[in-house]
Structure 1
Amino acid sequence: MESQAANYKEKVLQSFNKRGLIHTLGIEIVDFGPGWFHTKMVPHPKILQQHNYVHAGALATMADHTSGFASYSLMAEKEEVLTIEFKINLLRPAKGELIICRAKVLKPGRRIYVSESEVFSVNEGIEKLVAKATVTLAVVEMD
């Protein structure tokens, strides 16, 4: 896949750095390229639920944003991304020293993109799939 924006990396980094919620949750970029995006998050007490697992809302936000930025990396300079639907399957409780998310675009379209995210918990270097999301995103023209 190829980005439609010549300076897509700068465009993506500028947009990512403006997103307050993902920074509140502690989500950081690991790496990215055209059509894919990887993030990580160190679980801290503020994002744990009553059983000390990472809250499903934090996992869903991570999956949504990571998929969104995978799609955004392919879009033209004056285009933005907007999630219009997502489905997440929570496969097992997320507990560990690190949570990672890997997203890729499945189908880039003229107006609609479909991407997927896989979220893993990492404990002693061993990854376990904890959630999988399918995200549908609209392309929004900006002035």
Structure 2
Amino acid sequence: MVMTDAELLERMRTRIPPTAQLLGQELLALDSAAGTVRMRFEARPEFCNPMGHVQGGILAAMLDDAAAFAIIVKSQRRIVVPTIEFKVSFLAPAKLGRPIFAEGRCVKLGRTVAFAEADLSDGEGRLLARLSTSAIPTPLAGEGLLLERQA
């Protein structure tokens, strides 16, 4: 049974992967026909380097989640998308205490490989980082490792 975008958004907001909880991810919007998602993250102190900027590996994890979610919503199926490669370009620092917004988009959803992109920007719309990735769409076995979002 295919869910509407509103139903899918509600489900994906309440049953989240552990990484989403760790990163403080908030799914803001999705469009399954277009294969796009919009998310918000918070730049927490434990994510920062000594300069007070979010460390690049943390930003890459945020980008990877946004791209994966875009592939999942495009598929309109219960899948996971193990990443097989990605490239990240860092364009500006993500600063402590400021929201970070992610835009993920599924570029191509094939039977064996999916291609996606994601961007991170700050609250003023300044582009912080860009990711290009490929992943393997795989049916989700059982319930998967998902957490109920804590209010």
Deviates more, 1:93-102 or 1:56-65: 93-102
2:101 is aligned with what amino acid?
Answer: I
Unaligned regions of 5+ residues in structure 1, if any? none
* Alignment correspondent of 2:62: 62
| SS of residue in 2 equivalent to 1:51 | coil
Deviates more, 1:6-15 or 1:102-111: 6-15
The alignment yields a C-alpha RMSD, in angstroms, of 2.1
Task: Pick from 13, 29, 32 the counterpart of residue 30 of structure 2.
Answer: 32
Residues 40 and 102 in structure 2, CA contact (< 8 A), matched pair in contact too: yes
Residues 43 and 94 in structure 2, CA contact (< 8 A), matched pair in contact too: no
* Alignment correspondent of 2:105: 104
Tell me the CA shift for residue 114 of structure 1.
0.5
Q: Which has the higher strand share?
A: 1
Identical aligned residues as a percent: 23
Residues 114 and 135 in structure 1, CA contact (< 8 A), matched pair in contact too: yes
Moved >4 Å (runs of 4+): 8-16
* Alignment correspondent of 2:146: none
Equivalenced residues, count: 136
2:39 is aligned with what amino acid?
Answer: T
> Residues 77 and 43 from structure 1, CA distance in 2 versus in 1: closer, same or farther, beyond 3 angstroms?
same
| SS of residue in 1 equivalent to 2:22 | helix
* Alignment correspondent of 2:2: 6
1:112 is aligned with what amino acid?
Answer: V
Deviates more, 1:12-21 or 1:127-136: 12-21
Structure 1 segment 64-143 matched on structure 2, within 5 A: 64-95=64-95, 97-122=98-123, 126-142=124-140
CA distance in 1, matches of 2:79, 2:45: 36
Residues 63 and 103 in structure 1, CA contact (< 8 A), matched pair in contact too: yes
Tell me the CA shift for residue 77 of structure 1.
3.0
Unaligned regions of 5+ residues in structure 2, if any? 142-151
Tell me the CA shift for residue 117 of structure 1.
0.3
| SS of residue in 2 equivalent to 1:102 | strand
> Residues 78 and 31 from structure 1, CA distance in 2 versus in 1: closer, same or farther, beyond 3 angstroms?
closer
Residues 72 and 81 in structure 2, CA contact (< 8 A), matched pair in contact too: yes
TM-score (norm. length: structure 2):
0.79
2:139 is aligned with what amino acid?
Answer: E
> Residues 48 and 142 from structure 1, CA distance in 2 versus in 1: closer, same or farther, beyond 3 angstroms?
closer
Residues 119 and 132 in structure 1, CA contact (< 8 A), matched pair in contact too: yes
TM-score (norm. length: structure 1):
0.83
